[in-house]
Amino acid sequence: MVFSELLKYTSVRELSLCNARLHLAVHEGPLSRLGRRDDAGAELLRAAPPSACPAIVFLRLAGFQVTVNDRLALRGPLLLPFLAGFTSLSELDLSLDKSTIGGSSGSLLFIDDKILQQFFSCLAAHFRSLQSLRINFWRVTLEDSDRTMRQIAKYLKLCGLSFLRANGLIVTDSAKRVQMEHVFVQTILTHLQCLTWLCLDGVELTETQASSVGKCVRDRYPGTSLEISAKDVHVRSVKALVTAAEEGGRTEVVYTGGSNCRLKITKVQKSGRGKKK
């Protein structure tokens, strides 16, 4: 209650709780009787609706975790519904803890179809003014990837994000047992109408997958100028992306970051004779 009042009346514009831990001890009510299969997030929302917070513009929650009676309940995408009252947010970091990558299965958050769809649905409904989002080190595991991509595409069209950082992203189709980071990236590129900056540092892409991303930028990206950061992406994959994007002369790609591998991709405007302006 005290924390809710603090958020409501604070004049602070920037708040960082990266890697912080919030431990809740609940001794009565539904939260005190949660089983392993119970949805702790849903119960928390019923017990404590989102707090109003009109002042905070920059909120950094990378690695932030909430536990209820020693049970890890909220982190990463699961935190978003509790932030609906942050009506002035421009920048939000919901990255997961990098140290859990490759850790024990108990320490990992596997983001499934339901969690991913609920996240982007909430984003579209309550955070249309959000400009910058960080989802570094998310591990997504989908059972019905085609349907899930179609659903989140609808939500992405309603978002105003211009900056997305997805370093170390892992996306797996569990039914087909294949990696599909490129499919997720293409969904982002096609349907985020205001996107101008995309960071994919450390994302594993084969040459074929990277080529499909380049074709997507060339043919389906709705904007005119896009910067991509691809540090620690295999050099052959980066070259495949660039080659595909430049094919047909519809885009120009310029390296702007040297060893950091920054790419600036610009759609080429052509005259009636087909010459570049």
Residue 273 has pLDDT above 50, yes or no: no
Enumerate helices (H) and strands (E) in the chain, giving the number of each. 7, 16
Two tokens, residue 64: 């932030």
pLDDT at 23: 86
Return d(Cα 271, Cα 277) in angstroms, integer: 7
What domains can be seen in the chain, in order of their start residue? 13-98 (no CATH), 110-269 (3.80.10.10)
How much is the pLDDT for 35? 61
As a whole number, mean pLDDT of residues 60-69 equals 91
Residue with the bigger pLDDT between 152 and 276: it is 152
Strands of 139-142's sheet, edge to edge?
A: 110-111, 139-142, 170-173, 178-179
Q: Which amino acid is at 97?
A: D
pLDDT band at 158 (very low <50, low <70, confident <90, very high): very high
Query: What pLDDT score does 251 carry?
Result: 96
Beta bridge partner(s), residue 58: 14, 91
> What integer best gives the mean pLDDT of the chain?
89
CA 226 to the chain's CA centroid: 17
In this predicted structure, the answer to whether residue 163 has a pLDDT above a threshold of 50 is yes
* pLDDT band (50, 70, 90) for residue 33: low
| 189 C-beta neighbours (distance < 10 Å), count | 21
Mean pLDDT of 123-129: 94
User: Can you give the pLDDT at residue 72?
Assistant: 81
Neighbours of 142 (CB within 10 A): 24
Res. 269 pLDDT band, cuts 50 70 90: confident
What element of type H or E holds 113?
helix 113-126
- pLDDT exceeds cutoff 50 at 277: no
Q: What pTM was estimated for this model as a whole?
A: 0.89
Q: Which secondary structure element, helix H or strand E, spans residue 260, and what is its range?
A: none
Is the pLDDT reported for residue 106 higher than 70?
no
- What pLDDT, on a 0 to 100 scale, did the predictor assign at position 38? 62
Quote the pLDDT of residue 34. 65
| Span 197-202, average pLDDT | 98
pLDDT of residue 45: 75
**Mutual orientation of helices 207-219 and 181-191 as an angle, nearest 10°?**
10
Cα-only R_g, the chain: 20
AA letter at 261: C
For range 186-192, the mean pLDDT: 98
pLDDT category at 245 given cuts 50, 70, 90 is: very high
44-56: average pLDDT: 81
Q: Which two tokens stand for residue 188?
A: 């982002």
- Any bridge partners for residue 173, and if so which? 142, 178
What's the CA gap between 74 and 67, in Å, rounded?
7
What's the distance, Cα to Cα, between the start and end of the chain in Å? 60
Q: What pLDDT, on the 0 to 100 scale, is given for residue 276?
A: 44
- Alpha-helical regions (H) of 141-247: 145-156, 181-191, 207-219, 235-246
Percentage of residues of the chain with pLDDT beyond 90: 70
Question: Given pLDDT bands bounded at 50, 70 and 90, which one contains residue 182?
Answer: very high
With b for 16 or more beta-carbon neighbours within 10 A and e for fewer, the 195-229 pattern comes to bebbbbbbbbbebebbbbbbbbbbeebebeebbbb
SS3 at position 235: helix
Q: Identify the helix (H) or strand (E) that includes residue 124.
A: helix 113-126
